[in-house]
Structure 1
Amino acid sequence: MYKVKDISLAEQGSRQIEWAELHMQTLMKIRERMSKEKPLLGIKISAVLHVTKETAVLMRTLHNAGAEVYLAGSNPLSTQDDVAAALAQDGINVFAWKGENEKEYYDAIETVAKISPNLVMDDGGDLHALIHDKFYSPNIIGGTEETTTGVVRLKAMEESGVLKYPVIAVNNAFTKYLFDNRFGTGQSAIDGILRATNIMIAGKVVVVSGYGWVGRGIASRMRGMGARVIVTEVSPVRALEAVMEGFEVMPIREASKIGDIFVTTTGNINVISVDDIMQMKDGAILANAGHFNVEIDVEGLKRASKNVRNIRPFTDEYLLPNGKRVYLLADGRLVNLAAAEGHPSEVMDLSFANQALSAEYIVRNRNLKKAVYNVPDEIDNQVAELKLSVMGIKIDQMTQQQKEYSKQWKYGT
């Protein structure tokens, strides 16, 4: 079963997936083993992920491991239609296309939610929430969650006592957030901004809202391209860290008056309000790198504007009552996936290696309590070791003396 935009795009999508596989050798090593062992044989997986060429490499890996896979997109604008077509041709049950409206988006998620899965694989928490609300099945062994936003939602479910199955927070793996969130989003968000606008970064004042791992990545790379970077934060610890790393830190209300480009990265709502937007320079650019399109008050901006027109793909001009113009990219959705291709394959290699191994771990450990778990250390380390190996990099090993020394408490100075 499938519902995609154009199945005739499958050949083109297969070439895209082939390119990703060439740059995701960690996951390909895992696929090689799983194809022989079939650890997921007979397992039905419901997945809501960004339908990109990198996700396709994961889906093929799970399929080769024996799983029956159902996939929907985790963002209405992030699906790569040629890749979706190729997956459908490969035997993956995929329901995704770029440009879904809100009803189509949730209908697709509902399609994969109601198959009575054994494993639930999500990016953002929409699938987990829908299954808990309407489609829970006792057949569910457990699930995984790819991103910070989804983990926050799942922790809230756990704390409220409503979580019905164990979930591994893939996002919390060192080999995920230290690389995907920082290096992946740091590069791909800028890629999306450049594709949408073709502006020069050097010399611009860039305001990054949030200094988590995503914000750190974007701020450092913007600075590397010659921007003057301002960070806005609500956490005193993260704000202090940004200051110590050489960034200007100030409230968004002050930064809104001097920024040229604004990028939200917090996972929270109305981080940039209409009042903030009214203070911006004529020609200010607004982009979001958080999971949902709630960080910029898009609806408030639409209500307040005198006129809206599309200037170029993924760039809409809003004429404000004061005569100034601001430019919203990708309708406030994830700019790296809506206006570009998402993270580079090399960094998704790490994230999706964690996904594949976490799925295998849940199937092999069926007595986990209903809680949110971090990726086991042995999986995190295995992913790092595999990545180093395929990169041709060797590291030192502790001697027996060093191992014993690291476990003792008697030696002093």
Structure 2
Amino acid sequence: MDYKVKDIGLAEQGRKQIEWAELHMPALMEVRKELVAKNSLKGLKISAVLHVTKETAALVRTLKQAGAEVALAGSNPLSTQDDVAAALAKDGIKVFAWKGESEDDYYQNMNIILSYNPDILMDDGGDLHALVHEKHSNLKIIGGTEETTTGVIRLKAMEEDNVLKYPVIAVNNAFTKYLFDNRVGTGQSAIDGIIRSTNVLIAGKVAVVVGYGWVGRGIAIRFRGMGARVIIVEANPLRALEAVMDGFDVMPMVKASKLGEIFVTATGNINAISKEHIQNMKDGAILANAGHFNVEIDVKGLGEIAKNVREIRPYLDEYTLANGRRIYLLAEGRLVNLAAAEGHPSEVMDLSFSNQALCVEYIYNNKEKLQKKVLNVPAEIDEKVAFLKLKGMNIEIEELTKEQKEYMKQWKYGT
């Protein structure tokens, strides 16, 4: 079969979910109309490793309707929405994803979608790009895209090591991606995952946000908006200074670990919360991760220092330490917003996935011209996506006069 999902019988419910997402993704629907009218992607084969959500389904359906053949695998073992995966399979998408995959399943599914000999890769986290370079170097890839910060960092390392075999557009670096998806989307969805899995009150809690990049900023702002007292842990002096100027307390983890009640990691690095930090924590401390991979919290170390582990409710595990304190880990340390909730709202993914669709078309149309590097989203695509989003929100903006446009091009006028 050209699909493997948990239950194909969930397809009808999945279709309803996809319809709901598309209702809230007006920019992507405009992009779809444009690509379909031009049949822009006819004959193109795309293999994608993305979170299999209703929003991703809207993107995949757009690519297919524009003429592409798409094979899809999940980019996280716990992020797939099984009803959506079933709906895509019923609609003829080659989808290999289900919630609760093992690590072996995860990589096997990636190998399967690569067996369709894709022209373009779409990735979220960099695992697909890395797998191609390590084990499928025979594939003739003309280009790819990358959705997230973690993946872009990995691809830049590949570029610096002179091993990158094809151009990759860093969709993550578009203004219409990171300013909204990373900051606004994760800010809301990460806290949504925490609340769904615990139902604790945020107001009055001491929340520790580890990392003050765009994701950390969004989480911290929304924690504060819900009444939490927020501490930032940050290693970069510029970001730490920004957090201070934004009104947050800033300190190292060794101090924050003794004060926090809810901890959220958003660093892209390993062991941002180590077992030594965990041993400092208060009884009842809650640990969640909003970074792409499950390496930011030392889950293995937590297991080593626990004398007992039990599941309290879905995606909420209680670890009782030798000192009697109880630590609560959410979603096995994986992406809390996608494992314990539904990921970003459709409205924000409208921006990211409009970028993805337009960047695929751009790669296809410019395949002979692009260098084998990590490339930014072309400015005209970034601005087009912003314009389409505003249009979909029925918002009008100012238009410069001819005189104003000329003034901005010159250098002679002074005071």
TM over 0.5: yes
Does residue 339 (structure 1) correspond to residue 312 (structure 2)? The answer is: no
Q: In the alignment, which residue of structure 1 is the partner of 2:120?
A: 119
2:374 to 372, 375, 381: 372
Alpha-carbon separation, structure 2, partners of 1:114 and 1:99: 23
Alpha carbons 1:51, 1:80 under 8 Å: kept: yes
Alpha-carbon separation, structure 1, partners of 2:176 and 2:223: 23
What is the identity percentage for the equivalent residue pairs of Structure 1 and Structure 2? Answer: 72
**How far apart are residue 113 of structure 1 and its match?**
2.2
Secondary structure, counterpart of 2:99 in structure 1: coil
Does residue 360 (structure 1) correspond to residue 329 (structure 2)? The answer is: no
Deviation string for 1:115-167 (max 9, x for gaps)?
Answer: 22100000000000001111134531100000000000000000000000000
Q: In the alignment, which residue of structure 2 is the partner of 1:386?
A: 388
Does residue 51 (structure 1) correspond to residue 52 (structure 2)? The answer is: yes
Matched residue type, 1:312: R
* Structure 1 unmatched runs, 5+: none
**How far apart are residue 21 of structure 1 and its match?**
0.5
Alpha-carbon separation, structure 2, partners of 1:136 and 1:6: 33
Alpha-carbon separation, structure 1, partners of 2:150 and 2:137: 21
Kindly report which structure 2 residues correspond to 1:261-300, keeping only aligned pairs within 5 A, or say none. Answer: 261-300=262-301
Q: In the alignment, which residue of structure 1 is the partner of 2:406?
A: 404
Matched residue type, 2:271: N
> Does 147-156 or 134-143 show the bigger shift?
134-143
Kindly report which structure 2 residues correspond to 1:11-410, keeping only aligned pairs within 5 A, or say none. Answer: 11-366=12-367, 367-410=369-412
Alpha carbons 1:114, 1:135 under 8 Å: kept: no
Alpha-carbon separation, structure 2, partners of 1:128 and 1:306: 40
Secondary structure, counterpart of 1:192 in structure 2: helix
**How far apart are residue 33 of structure 1 and its match?**
1.6
Residues 118/137 of structure 1: CA separation in 2 closer, same or farther (3 Å cut): farther
TM-score (norm 2): 0.99
Aligned residues: 413
Alpha-carbon separation, structure 2, partners of 1:211 and 1:140: 35
Secondary structure, counterpart of 1:306 in structure 2: strand
Deviation string for 1:348-382 (max 9, x for gaps)?
Answer: 00000000000000000012110000000000000
Alpha-carbon separation, structure 2, partners of 1:377 and 1:358: 11
Alpha-carbon separation, structure 2, partners of 1:401 and 1:138: 52
Matched residue type, 2:80: T
Secondary structure, counterpart of 2:209 in structure 1: strand
Secondary structure, counterpart of 2:312 in structure 1: strand
Alpha-carbon separation, structure 1, partners of 2:401 and 2:394: 22
Secondary structure, counterpart of 1:47 in structure 2: strand
Alpha carbons 1:41, 1:65 under 8 Å: kept: yes
Alpha-carbon separation, structure 1, partners of 2:160 and 2:376: 16
> Does 293-302 or 31-40 show the bigger shift?
31-40
**How far apart are residue 239 of structure 1 and its match?**
0.2
Deviation string for 1:261-299 (max 9, x for gaps)?
Answer: 000000000000000000000000000000000000001
Alpha-carbon separation, structure 1, partners of 2:115 and 2:375: 24
Secondary structure, counterpart of 1:3 in structure 2: coil
* Structure 2 unmatched runs, 5+: none
Secondary structure, counterpart of 2:121 in structure 1: strand
**How far apart are residue 114 of structure 1 and its match?**
2.8
Alpha-carbon separation, structure 1, partners of 2:393 and 2:18: 20
Matched residue type, 2:359: S
Alpha-carbon separation, structure 2, partners of 1:109 and 1:291: 17
Alpha-carbon separation, structure 1, partners of 2:110 and 2:122: 12
Secondary structure, counterpart of 2:163 in structure 1: coil
**How far apart are residue 409 of structure 1 and its match?**
1.0
Alpha-carbon separation, structure 2, partners of 1:272 and 1:8: 41
* Stretches of 4+ aligned residues off by more than 3 angstroms: none
Matched residue type, 1:72: A
**How far apart are residue 109 of structure 1 and its match?**
1.1
Matched residue type, 2:393: M
Aligned CA-pair RMSD: 0.7
Secondary structure, counterpart of 1:2 in structure 2: coil
Alpha-carbon separation, structure 1, partners of 2:68 and 2:304: 47
Secondary structure, counterpart of 1:78 in structure 2: coil
Alpha-carbon separation, structure 2, partners of 1:48 and 1:182: 22
Matched residue type, 1:369: Q
Alpha carbons 1:163, 1:370 under 8 Å: kept: yes
